[in-house]
Structure 1
Amino acid sequence: MSNKKMWRTGLVVLALLLLAGVPWYGSDVLIQFGINALLLAVLAQGWNIIGGYTGYASFGNSVFYGLGGYGVAIAMVQWQLPFGVGLVFGVLLAIVFAVLLGLPVLRLKGHYFAIATLALSQVMTAIVSNVGLAGQNIGLVLPPLNNDRLFYELALGLLVIATLTIFWLTRSRFGFGLIAIRENEEAAAVMGVNTTLYKVLAFTLSGIFSALAGGIHAYWITFLDPESAFDISLNVKMIIMAVFGGPGTVLGPIVGALSLSAVSEFLSSEVTSVAGLFFGVVIVAAVVMMPLGLADMLRRFRKTGWRYFIENIRIHRL
């Protein structure tokens, strides 16, 4: 192993140890912030599979998040089953949804695919609002569990698994197939990649992590209703965080999620009127000045300096 790889590995291990120690040295407020930030990082990593590696900008991951939450809520409230069973049920719902909807929707490309997935959240909200088992418009109240340390550890553990999955993608034939689809889907098909199967599997894998994050969050906040469960703004956040950190990279979405969560939390507490505009400004700046995210910017900035930003601005004709 080269010195550069050893240095990177050491930094990752140190960061993981610092994050793992938050429940022991952090305040209650910091732990609660950490749960939210870690779950957003999981969502960004999940979106990274379908958006960053496969090249399909999905706005439907919030549906998986909601299905995961409702899987836990229905299992625990309506059927009096354990939390773990609810997580499994939510994942199964996400898998079924991903396969049934992925087959027709993933035949679309570009903005057509984005528009189609954008409508999924509204459709699912309307459907769940009329299902008695899901509490209709009123929602479901889960049994409380006042154990933020447990939820923090669950969120961190899920993020580690999601990141290891992304790391595996960078070294597996499946991951290479997804990258080939992102770069040129027609050429990938000619090379023997089963593009339909690969895209559906990526969509499903992305949905599994989103559903698990939704299930953990639902049990943590102990309440779920259709509007909050299938909130499209959550999908926008995960995309912004992944794009800001670096789509198609292993650690980029984590860096984007944690850094943007911290800044957003500061703005919402110190300058409330500006917080709502923050994510809009960030996405415009990120797309224009560093379209490949922080990871690409840090790598190239050392070689090109400020010319990196000037070049990107010139490309976008600003």
Structure 2
Amino acid sequence: MTTATNKLAPIAVLVAAAALVALPFVGSDSLIQFGINTLLLASLAQAWNIIGGYAGYASFGNSVFYGLGSYGVGIAMVQWQLPFGVGMAMGAGLAVIFACSLGVAVLRLRGHYFAIATLAMSQVMTAIVSNIGIAGQNIGLVLPPLNNDRLFYGLALALLAAVTLTVFWLTRSRFGFGLIAIRENEEGAAVMGVNTTLYKVLAFTLAGIFSALAGGIHAYWITFIDPASAFDITLNVQMIIMAVFGGPGTVFGPIVGAFVLSGVSEFLSSEVTNIAGLFFGAVIVAAVVLMPRGLADIMRNVRRTGWRYFMQNIRAHKL
């Protein structure tokens, strides 16, 4: 059974990739727009997977990188009349500076202390940007419109491919093995010669770069940014839920989680609007209690253990 599954996995990936490439040529405008949003969310979930899934540091600060990428594009295009590509580079550069300068200090914290510290970063950045004139202060910035959803879809798909290839590289590189060692036992990893501070900062920086690029694409797509939306903490919660639901520390788990939850959320928002807001809360409870390692872990174990898999997780939480 395992051998057959391993053989079918590459075929499923190729079919899914072909469908994503073909969608903007055969799908409706609304479907393409849904695809852009979902691809960007999948990229964010995959970027969080680098620091949260592989390094084991549950960051609530990736929305800061997303906001920096948005403002990098916004300031470059609106205030300095520079091309979109320059703005993307500016946003990524800001993310690198931020990750390297604050990562050394913040990544010394662990557990809920690290989560609280990264959570506070979003609020601090919102307050700072709200008082910077070149960033439009509280009013925000209006970017020049570009009515080309196919282009933005292609950019979002390329970004998802890039971050997924990076995660795939982690599974086969010394750097990736070092991050996994940190996640499992940081003290033991340090004893074995892993430079834990350097590895964590690099992982934080990688996650920041991809998050910033997603923010830059989204900013140009919607043509408007302001501090509250650019550094929205709920976006960070969404990317964490999607990664955890699909399977943190796996190559395709966050992507599957993003597509499944985006699809269900879109359906609830349009068909059952009264309970749409409760959906992600219910997903958190279900994911933590029934499948703490996500859909990817279910696929590996449920065929062998059946319902005992869920019962074991329930007993582990003393329910």
Fold-level similarity (TM above 0.5): yes
Distance 2:83 2:68 in 1: 17
Counterpart of 2:248 in structure 1 is 247
Counterpart of 2:135 in structure 1 is 134
Counterpart of 2:285 in structure 1 is 284
For residues 136-174 of structure 1, the C-alpha deviation after alignment (integer angstroms, 9 at most, x for no partner) is 000000000000000001001100111000000000000
Distance 1:152 1:46 in 2: 18
Distance 1:227 1:62 in 2: 11
SS, match of residue 278 in structure 2: helix
Counterpart of 2:187 in structure 1 is 186
Counterpart of 2:34 in structure 1 is 33
Runs of 4+ in structure 1 deviating by more than 4 angstroms, as ranges, are none
Q: How far apart are 1:273 and its partner, in Å?
A: 1.1
Overall identity of the aligned pairs, in %: 77
**Aligned counterparts, 1:288-307, within 5 A:** 288-307=289-308
Counterpart of 1:205 in structure 2 is 206
- Counterpart residue type for residue 181 of structure 1: I
Matched, 1:15 2:16: yes
Counterpart of 1:83 in structure 2 is 84
Distance 1:153 1:118 in 2: 31
Matched, 1:110 2:99: no
Could you say if the C-alpha distance between residues 5 and 276 of structure 1 is closer, same or farther in structure 2, counting changes exceeding 3 Å?
same
- Counterpart residue type for residue 213 of structure 1: A
SS, match of residue 21 in structure 1: helix
Distance 1:5 1:85 in 2: 42
SS, match of residue 251 in structure 2: coil
Counterpart of 1:260 in structure 2 is 261
For residues 179-203 of structure 1, the C-alpha deviation after alignment (integer angstroms, 9 at most, x for no partner) is 0000000000000000000000000
- Counterpart residue type for residue 221 of structure 1: I
Q: How far apart are 1:8 and its partner, in Å?
A: 1.1
For residues 76-126 of structure 1, the C-alpha deviation after alignment (integer angstroms, 9 at most, x for no partner) is 000000000000000000000001110100000000000000000000000
Could you say if the C-alpha distance between residues 304 and 5 of structure 1 is closer, same or farther in structure 2, counting changes exceeding 3 Å?
closer
For residues 34-73 of structure 1, the C-alpha deviation after alignment (integer angstroms, 9 at most, x for no partner) is 0000000000000000000000000000000000000000
Matched, 1:124 2:125: yes
Q: How far apart are 1:6 and its partner, in Å?
A: 3.6
Q: How far apart are 1:5 and its partner, in Å?
A: 3.7
Structure 2 residues not aligned, in runs of 5+: none
- Counterpart residue type for residue 163 of structure 1: T
- Counterpart residue type for residue 154 of structure 1: L
Structural RMSD (CA) = 0.7
- Counterpart residue type for residue 75 of structure 2: I
* Mean CA deviation greater in 5-14 or 76-85: 5-14
Counterpart of 2:272 in structure 1 is 271
Distance 1:204 1:85 in 2: 19
Distance 2:174 2:258 in 1: 28
- Counterpart residue type for residue 39 of structure 2: L
Distance 1:297 1:22 in 2: 29
Distance 2:154 2:98 in 1: 28
Distance 1:80 1:121 in 2: 27
Counterpart of 1:148 in structure 2 is 149
Matched, 1:196 2:194: no
Counterpart of 2:96 in structure 1 is 95
Distance 1:187 1:313 in 2: 30
